[in-house]
Amino acid sequence: MKIPEQLYKDIEVIGGIDKIIEKLPDENRMIRQSQIYDALSSPLRLKILNLLSIQPLCACVIQKITKTSPSKLSYHLSVLTENNLIEGSKEATWITYSLTELGKQYVLTKL
């Protein structure tokens, strides 16, 4: 494999390709991280997270604000829940959703 001369030198200084690989984060950590990003990769789900950062809400209010069908909303709420970004607490007929600590971190980190 031929590579640019300067790059070759840079890699030598680091200690070779093996040293670069060693510096990488743990594989499982990257997989978990990518799953969280995947949960965040939908405009509707970001809207839900932002809503819940303003005020914990029951699904029916979220549904009204976001104008989604019940089953569609339920699907997206489940994606967020499974990834530990929100949690629901049941009270009578309603389930009130709120951000988890993890969810708060991501909503507040507006990059």
Burial class (CB in 10 A: 0-12, 13-18, 19+), 77: buried
- What does 23 bind: a copy of itself, DNA, none (CB cut-off 5 to 8 Å by kind)? a copy of itself
27 binds, among DNA, a copy of itself, none (CB under 5 to 8 A by kind): a copy of itself
Query: What residues make contact with a copy of itself under the rule CB under 8 A?
Result: 1-4, 7, 10-11, 14, 17, 20-21, 23-25, 27, 30-31, 33-38, 40-43, 45-47, 50-51, 54-58, 60-61, 64-65, 91-94, 96, 102, 105-106, 109-111
Give just the sign of the alpha carbon dihedral 108, 90, 42, 50: negative
Report yes or no: 79 and 111 within 8 Å, Cβ to Cβ: no
> At closest approach, how far in Å is the CB of 66 from DNA?
11
How far, in whole angstroms, is CA 56 from its chain's centroid? 18
Minimum Å gap between C-beta 23 and DNA is: 20
Q: Which does 101 bind (CB under 5 to 8 A by kind): DNA, a copy of itself, none?
A: none
Task: Provide Rg for the chain, Cα atoms.
Answer: 21
